[in-house]
Amino acid sequence: MKALIVDDEARVRKAISLLVRWEEHGITEVQEAANGQEAMDLIPSYRPHLVLLDMLMPLKNGLDLMEWMHKQTPDTKFIVISGHDDFEFVRNTIWYSGTDYILKPIDETIINQAVGKAAAAWRTEEQERQIARQQHVQVNEYRPVYSEKLLTSLIDDPSSHPQIVRRLQDEDIVPPETERIRLAVLQLDSSDHALFQRFGHHLDLLMFALLNICNEFLQQDRTGMAFRHLGAQHHIVIMLWDQLSTMPIKLQEINSGFQRTLSRNMHFGLSTTGQYPADMPALYAMCLRSLRSRDLTLLNHFVHDANDSAPSAGTSRQVPFSDYEDSWRLAVLSGQPKLMTEAVQEWISAIRKNGSLTPEQLERWDREIERFANRLIHEALHLRAESLLKTYQEEQGTLVQPSPDRYICSLTEWQHYWEQSMHMLASVLQSQKQTGSDLMHDVTSFIDQNYQNEVSLYDIAARFHVSREYISRKFKQKHGINIPEYINRIRITKAKVLLQNPDMKVTAISELVGFKNDKYFSLVFKKQEGISPKEFRKLHI
């Protein structure tokens, strides 16, 4: 702590300096001033925590100094040391929150008690001030998050609209007269590694910078605001409640700000106008549709209006992946890299000729290709399919998939990605290629595990993705009997064991091994064993 002694008599200043046990009170620095004016000149730079002052001084007296400190440095504690027992002096000391009024001559015990009390009071109040400052910082830090939570609720939770609107008005976030609004959604390219690296790969810092740029343009005339949608980490929502027709111009201005600051242009999906707050969910969905249906082949076009025509539905019918699936299947099963490259090139050429491309299409095609890979693995590998599918998915996870949200789309990147996926798929299939013998082993194991259930030839063929004729023929070649006979043999073998338990009824045994009724069970049993189940039981009990 710092202290300042203010008295026009040097001997008094020296006496105070010698009498007070400064270190005991936590005071490590002490300076002096000869009058109130000198103290006023020194205090702003010196910033003492405690002032010991006389009342009667030239230029500026003690009363002037107390009044000045009360206005300029209200946290400073002061003690009056005066030779005058004057009620007005004491009253003013109390009025300006002085901690003590000590009469001269100075008593060592009394002045140390006063200094100790003043120092303790300053430390207590400083702790309270620090807590208050911290709370203020926390409130300021939480305020944007609080605002974003409220605004996100307008989109995600229509049932809470009345309460949220009141809070937004009370917090002066959205003007109370707001009735009509227009939304836009900024979609950050998550694959823009250079931009993320610039912000230390800290998404919150990057979004904070983007929000500041957006609001710099929106808050100038208080026509709207930008906020993060808490449910979509790469989305910034821009809400305009005034001058709605200027929204496209505002977005272009914001993009100019991005270009100057970050050397980037961002894509915006734009909605029509709607009612606040009722239409917020629909307007947000409209913005997302605008982004999903934007034509990626158009350069230098970043504001995508919901009223613009979207060719996505028609385009996807013109270039269906199913038209190229057979050539992809043959190429993968051949295992030849050249054929796989040609199959993908043929597909890419068709996309290029179509003349337009949207993120929605890219995502749909990628899902179709993923389903194609899953089907091919199940067709070829049967019971091993699940483990091999997991292996394929893990390997594919190492590939860097192009983002459909890139600022500029590159079909070459997608071509390379799909070629790599095909090569991985072919590698998995070739490494675990199954022979006919392996298939019959898997079919037999399946029947052995499920004999008690209804197991038809159709079910088995569907499970292993091969024809019923092929399964039936191969099974009989391996076992010498057809599948229904094999199932019945297993069931009768299990039943013979159970019949040796005298406590089990024949009807229960019949159901347990998979027969629909005991009469059919008896018929099959007698045909296979030459005797009925009851006769078999008599012979073995």
Q: What is the pLDDT of residues 437-471, one digit of tens each?
A: 567 888 888 899 899 888 888 888 777 766 778 78
Structure token digits, residue 470: 């092929």
Q: What is the pLDDT of residues 27-73, one digit of tens each?
A: 999 999 999 999 999 999 999 999 999 999 999 999 999 999 999 99
HSE-up of residue 175 (Cα within 13 Å, Cβ side): 15
The model's confidence at residue 233, banded by pLDDT at 50, 70 and 90, is confident
Rounded Cα distance between 60 and 148, Å, is 53
User: pLDDT at position 316, please?
Assistant: 41
Assess contact for 100 and 111: CB atoms under 8 A: no
What's 174-309's CATH class?
alpha beta
Structure token digits, residue 49: 């925590």
User: pLDDT at position 146, please?
Assistant: 80
First to last CA, the chain: 103
Residue scoring higher pLDDT (18 or 319): 18
Instruction: Count Cβ atoms below 10 Å from residue 507 Cβ, excluding itself.
Output: 13
Angle subtended by helix axes 436-450 and 468-479, to nearest 10:
90
User: pLDDT at position 143, please?
Assistant: 56
Mean pLDDT throughout 1-14?
Answer: 94
Q: What is the pLDDT of residues 489-501, one digit of tens each?
A: 999 999 999 999 8
User: pLDDT at position 315, please?
Assistant: 41
Rounded Cα distance between 302 and 286, Å, is 16
- Which backbone phi and psi does 75 adopt, to 5 degrees? -80, -15
Query: Where along the chain do its domains lie?
Result: 2-127, 174-309, 314-431, 436-540
Please tell me the least confidently modeled range out of 39-43, 290-294, 410-414.
410-414
User: pLDDT at position 313, please?
Assistant: 40
Mean pLDDT throughout 105-126?
Answer: 93
Q: What is the pLDDT of residues 512-523, one digit of tens each?
A: 999 988 899 999
Q: Is residue 132 over pLDDT 80?
A: no
User: pLDDT at position 137, please?
Assistant: 52
Q: What is the pLDDT of residues 318-335, one digit of tens each?
A: 688 888 988 898 888 777
Q: Is residue 310 over pLDDT 70?
A: no
Assess contact for 77 and 99: CB atoms under 8 A: yes
Q: What is the pLDDT of residues 65-107, one digit of tens each?
A: 999 999 999 999 999 999 888 888 888 888 888 999 999 999 9
Assess contact for 388 and 378: CB atoms under 8 A: no
Q: Is residue 432 over pLDDT 60?
A: no
Q: Is residue 145 over pLDDT 80?
A: no
Residue scoring higher pLDDT (375 or 388): 375
Select from 124, 118, 129 the least CA-distant residue to 25. Answer: 118
User: pLDDT at position 306, please?
Assistant: 65
- State percent of the chain over pLDDT 90: 52
The model's confidence at residue 400, banded by pLDDT at 50, 70 and 90, is confident
User: pLDDT at position 1, please?
Assistant: 94
In whole numbers, what is the pLDDT of the chain averaged over residues? 87
Secondary-structure breakdown of the chain: helix, strand, coil percentages, each rounded to the nearest 5:
60, 10, 30
What's 436-540's CATH class?
mainly alpha
Residue scoring higher pLDDT (110 or 135): 110
Mean pLDDT throughout 330-345?
Answer: 87
Task: Please report, as a single letter, which amino acid is at residue 72.
Answer: Q
b/e map 88-127, b = 16+ CB within 10 Å: ebbebbeebebbbbbeeebeeeebbebbeebbeebeeeee
* Alpha helical stretches, state H, 219-279: 247-262
Mean pLDDT throughout 144-158?
Answer: 88
CATH code: domain 2-127 is: 3.40.50.2300
Rounded Cα distance between 21 and 23, Å, is 6
For residue 241, what are the CA distances in angstroms to 11, 95, 210, 246, 270?
Answer: 71, 51, 20, 11, 14
Rounded Cα distance between 527 and 522, Å, is 8
Mean pLDDT throughout 271-276?
Answer: 95
Q: What is the pLDDT of residues 468-485, one digit of tens each?
A: 787 888 889 889 999 999
Mean pLDDT throughout 2-21?
Answer: 94
User: pLDDT at position 191, please?
Assistant: 84
* DSSP structure string for 395-435: HHTTS-PPPTT-SS--HHHHHHHHHHHHHHHHHHHHHTPPP
Q: What is the pLDDT of residues 180-216, one digit of tens each?
A: 999 999 989 888 889 999 999 999 899 999 999 999 9
